[in-house]
Chain A
Amino acid sequence: MSLKKYFPVFVMPTLIAFLIAFVIPFVLGIFLSFTEFTTILDAQWTGISNYIKAFSNDDFLNALWFTVKFTAVSVVTINLAAFALANILTKGLKGTNLFRTVFFMPNLIGGIVLGYIWQLIINGVLKFFGVTITYDPAYGFWGLVILINWQLIGYMMVIYIAGLQNIPSDLQEAAKVDGANRWQTLRNVTLPLVMPSVTICTFLTLTNSFKLFDQNLALTAGAPSGQTAMLSLDIYNTFYSKVGWEGVGQAKAVIFFVIVAVISFTQLILTRKNEVEH
């Protein structure tokens, strides 16, 4: 059977779109990070000078540190809350479905809209102290943490629920019969068995928090003076509000990509290692 003859019909449309929307921009992006340019066509090779500029750029280092701190805090808080809620909602209480529906909902609302919703709430609370969210970078930081928790807890919760429901109930009953208390059962029976879900959720919260853009733009837009700009926003600003910095912006983007790729691969290896077979 010659499937090959049908290559143009089955593969071409996707492949051409993929080449134009991904492959060409990606390769061009790597190349341009080693050049100085404003319109791509005028690119001049400059070696690694863009990377040196990126790493000696305070805005970039600040954004990197801000993003790392933000991601670390969010991953822990989101997963703890999501796991706790999933645990409660798999106990067969009445109204479980209603609660699940409500908790998951914020995940569907787009980042820009979320940002402005929380800007109103947070500024409303800060008003009692006579300030706004742009007064101190710490406010922006915790504002973003609250926002991302609100958005992702429900999402992670449904993944944990799916994981918890996969555990055969006789295992937990056996632990009970053997005299294990609630905490021991959770730690020694439930947790090892939901490790695949834990890895997935850690990965999802990690990459989602690390790549955050829309919420950052809408909530603080980096204010005060760029101190609450995360990596994505800093890269965007380098491209579009600093004339002559396009090369540096592209170098920052490559660095950003490498970090995300390293996180993804680490997580992949951990997933393979951690999964308990049953």
Chain B
Amino acid sequence: MKRRIFPTVISYTLLIIFCVVFVAPILIVFYNSFKSRFYISDSPFELPDAETFAGLENYFEGIQKIGFFSAFGWSLLITVLSVIAIVLFTSMTAWYIARSKSRFSSILYYAFIFSMIVPFQMVMFTLTKTANLLSLDNPLGLVFVYLGFGSGLSIFMFTGFIKSIPKEIEEAAMIDGCSPLQTFFKVVFPVLKPTSITVAILNAMWIWNDYLLPYLLIGSEYKTIPIAVQYLKGGYGSIDMGAMMAMLVLAIIPIILFYLFSQKYIIKGVVAGAVKG
């Protein structure tokens, strides 16, 4: 018995230490958001007391300074529309690629795969210019750009899954008089559900947190949450630490809530995405 208890104690000690290290930064930001801004940089580890407590002042100030709710709205709109567009259009394209045997589809497939390894900086400047030229520098245009830039991984994942499902069901549907469109939406798309969830989660995580692409494309007129947070830093002046803490808290809360409610899918999706990507 002794030999078994000892490692358990060590395991729990390690886990608890890690737990503290993982939670502490968020907790520290949280209680600092209630301190008056002058006390934050000076003594970040001290809890608010009667003298330093500022109530919700930082929150009001931050929300007003960066227009938090409008940023939240843009982030939500752009993320939701992009994810819908990506899941819908790339699954259709992936099915076409997987089922048509033409040379062109396989070239297309490798082009999509290739795009997965290209870092954003490679196309940063030219993409921004192209988007400006084509008047895609607005939230809807950004959704279109996300569809293009995010299609690599999504097509890769959908095609992999489609190749593993038997063709016979689709053929039966077509013999029964379904057009390819009807076959896709009535027979294939429902079967793709697990992959669709994975693709949706991976893209949502990326787009919700993305800073550079929206900043370059629409940042001067529309702020998403990451742009709004970075905006608080301003030019060369010092950061308003109070507003910063409050906005960090507001930026984290929706993510944690979403995570707690769909944890199972998120972890599954991330693992599936990593293993296949």
Contact = CB atoms under 8 A, between A and B. Distances in A.
Interface of A: 1, 3-4, 6-7, 9-11, 13-26, 28-29, 32, 39-40, 84-85, 88-89, 91, 93, 95, 99-113, 116-118, 120-121, 123-124, 127, 150, 154-155, 158-159, 162, 200-201, 204, 211, 213-214, 217-218, 231-232, 235-236, 239, 246, 249-250, 253-254, 256-257, 260-261, 264
B66 interface: no
Interface string B113-148: 001011111111111011100101000000011111
Nearest to A93: B11
A187 B205 CA distance: 35
A10 to B, nearest CB: 4
B50 interface: no
Given A17-B144, A24-B130, A105-B22, 15 more contacts: A1-B174, A4-B102, A10-B180, A11-B97, A14-B93, A18-B148, A19-B148, A20-B136, A22-B118, A22-B127, A26-B126, A28-B130, A110-B225, A112-B229, A246-B125
B56 interface: no
Interface of B: 8, 11-12, 14-15, 18-19, 21-26, 28-29, 32, 40-45, 89-90, 92-93, 95-97, 99-100, 102, 108, 111-112, 115, 117-127, 129-131, 134, 136, 144-149, 151-152, 155, 174, 179-181, 184, 205, 208-212, 225-226, 229-230, 233, 241, 244-245, 248, 251-252, 255-256, 259-260, 263, 266-267, 270-271, 274-275
Contacts of B43: 124
Nearest to B11: A88
B259 A108 contact: yes
B29 A120 contact: yes
Contacts of B211: 110-112, 213-214, 217
B121 A121 contact: no
Contacts of A88: 11, 14-15
Nearest to B100: A3
Contacts of A104: 267
B18 A85 contact: yes
A264 B113 CA distance: 12
B25 A121 contact: yes
Contacts of B18: 85, 99, 103
B121 A235 contact: yes
B121 A256 contact: yes
A176 to B, nearest CB: 13
Contacts of B205: 108
Contacts of B179: 6
A239 B233 CA distance: 21
Nearest to A261: B117
Contacts of B120: 211, 213, 232
5 contacts: A21-B144, A29-B123, A93-B15, A108-B209, A121-B25
A11 B122 contact: no
A108 B92 contact: no
B260 to A, nearest CB: 8
Top 6 A-B pairs ranked by shortest CB distance? A21-B148, A110-B209, A17-B148, A124-B44, A25-B126, A25-B123
